[in-house]
A and B are shown apart, each in its own frame.
Chain A
Amino acid sequence: MLDQGEINRGASGRNAGSLHFQLEPRMLERGGDPRGLTELIPVNLQAIEDWRRLPGLLRAGLELAMHGGLMVAETPAERDLLVRKWEVETRAGLPVRMLEGAELRRVAAYLAEHVCCASYCPLEGHANPRCVTPAYAAAARAYGAEIRCRSRVRTLERRAAGWRLQIEGKEGAGSAGRAAQSSSFLDAEAVLVAAGAWSREILAPHGVNVPLEPLGLAMNVTERGGPVVRHLVQHVGQRLSVKQVKAGNVLIGGGWPAALSDRLTLGAEPHVRLLERSMIDNAGTAVHVVPALAGLQLIRSWTGIASVSPDHLPVLGAVAALPGVFIAAGESSFTLGPTYARLVSELMCLGYTSLSLHLYRPDRFVPP
C-alpha cells in the first residue's frame, strides 16, 4: 500500500466520524427515479453489518457507538421530504421510523421545540476516525501487507501480466531538513486507486477521466459536557451533523465549506483554510436544533478534503480502459468505506461482487 503522505492524514482521518445510514437529503433532491434510490440501500444495510463486525475484525474498539440517528425536519416541506425518504428506505428494508410529537420528545428531549418530526434509524452513530484507519493499517500489516508512506505513484506502465508502478519516495522527511527523493519500481497484477480526491489526478495521465472534485469541509468540536445528545443528529433541510462522544465532547459538522485554494497537486500539501462564516453558521445551526449546546464552547475546528462526484455516488469498480486497474473513491467514504473496501476487494480477488456495483461503475460518466 502506497500513501503519498502518512496513514490517516487525508480525508480518512479528517472527517467527523458520522455513521449515517439514512439516505442523504441531497440524494432526494435529485428527485425522479425512486427505484434508483431504493437500489442504494443494500450497500447501507451491508455497511451496518460491516461496522458491527469491525471492532472484532480489527481487534480495536474504534470508539464505535451505534445508538441511533435522527434526521430532523422543521417545516411541512421538510416533513414531506422526510416522509418520501422514509418510504423509499422502508421499501428497501432499512430500519427507519418516523417520530413525531410526544414520541419524538421521549426519544430526544434535547431537540428544539420547532423540530416537528424526525426520521430515526436505530443503528446510526459514530466512530473515531483517529482510531479506525490505524486499526485497519495494523490489521493489514498483520496479514502481511507492506505499507509505504511518503511514496507516490508517478506512473503506471502496462506490462505483460499487470502493471509496473514508478514510485517516488521521500526518505527521512521530517524536521531534519530537505527530504531525499528516491525512485523505485513495483510490479503488480492489479492496482487499486483509493486516493480520495487525488484519484482523478492519478488516473488523468492515462486518459481516464473520473470526475471527482475536491471539496474543502470544516468540522468543529466543543469542550466536554455532560450527556446531552445521545444520537447522531442530522437535518433534512440544513447542513448539520451533531454527535457527542463518550468523553463528552460534541462534534459539530455537516458539510460546511472550507476554502480550498487551488487545484490539488499530487505530492503537495493542499491549502485548506477555515472560514469564520462556516464556523459561526455551523455552530448556529447546531444550537438552533439542540439549544442546550449554547452552553458549550468550541475548542477546535479542522478541515478535510472530501471528493464529490456529479451524481453524489462513489466511484467503485474496474477501470475499463486500463485492465487490472480498479478505483474506490468518493462520497460517504467514512460510513460506507468498509463496505466499498469489501466489495472492491471481492471484485479484485474473485471477479464478482456480492452486491451490484453497477450504479457506481467508473465509466458511467462517459457519454455513450
Chain B
Amino acid sequence: MGFRVNSGTFRPQPITFSFDGVAITAHPGETLAAALIAADIRGFRRDVRGGLRGPYCNMGTCFECVLEVRSGSSWRTVRGCLTPVAAGLEVRSLRAPTLGRSMT
C-alpha cells in the first residue's frame, strides 16, 4: 500500500491531475509515479501477455513505468518516475504499441 510520510514534512498545496479519467490528488514536486503509487495505483500499463507492469527502478533506467501524457491533440510517452505532476495534466496508461504513439 502506498502512503505519504506526513510527520515533519511540508508540502505545497495539492493539485489534481487525471489518470485514465480518474482524478488523482498530488503535490507539486512529486513525480507521476510517486503520486500514482501514493494513490495505490501500481499497474501503469500491461505487457504483451496482458500482465500489469509498474515502476521498477524509479530512476529512469528501466522504462517499466512509461505512461502517456496529453500534449495538445496528441499523446506523448513519458517515464512516470521522471515526469513531475502538474495541475490538470491528463495521463493515461500506455496503449498497445503503435508507431508514433506520441503523434496519434
Contacts and interface: CB of A to CB of B under 8 A. Distances in A.
B99 A223 contact: no
Contact of A225 (B48, B66, B99): B99
B40 to A, nearest CB: 27
B63 A292 contact: no
A225 B100 contact: yes
Interface in A219-250: 223-228, 247-248
Nearest to B103: A295
Contacts of A224: 97
A296 B99 contact: yes
A299 interface: yes
B98 interface: yes
Contact of A295 (B48, B63, B66, B100): B100
Contacts, number: 30
Contact of A297 (B48, B97, B98, B102): B102
B31 interface: no
Contacts of B99: 225-228, 292, 295-296
Interface in A244-282: 247-248
Given A223-B77, A247-B48, A295 B97 contact: no
Contacts of B66: 223
A27 interface: no
Interface string A210-223: 00000000000001
A70 to B, nearest CB: 18
B70 interface: no
Contacts of B48: 247
Interface string B75-104: 001000000000000000000011111110
B102 A225 contact: no
Nearest to B76: A297
| Nearest 4 pairs of A and B residues by beta carbon | A295-B100, A225-B99, A224-B97, A226-B98
Given A225-B101, A292-B99, A294-B100, 11 more contacts: A223-B66, A223-B77, A223-B97, A224-B97, A225-B97, A225-B98, A225-B99, A292-B100, A295-B101, A296-B99, A296-B100
15 contacts: A223-B66, A223-B97, A224-B97, A225-B98, A225-B100, A226-B97, A226-B99, A227-B99, A247-B48, A292-B99, A295-B99, A295-B101, A296-B99, A297-B77, A297-B102
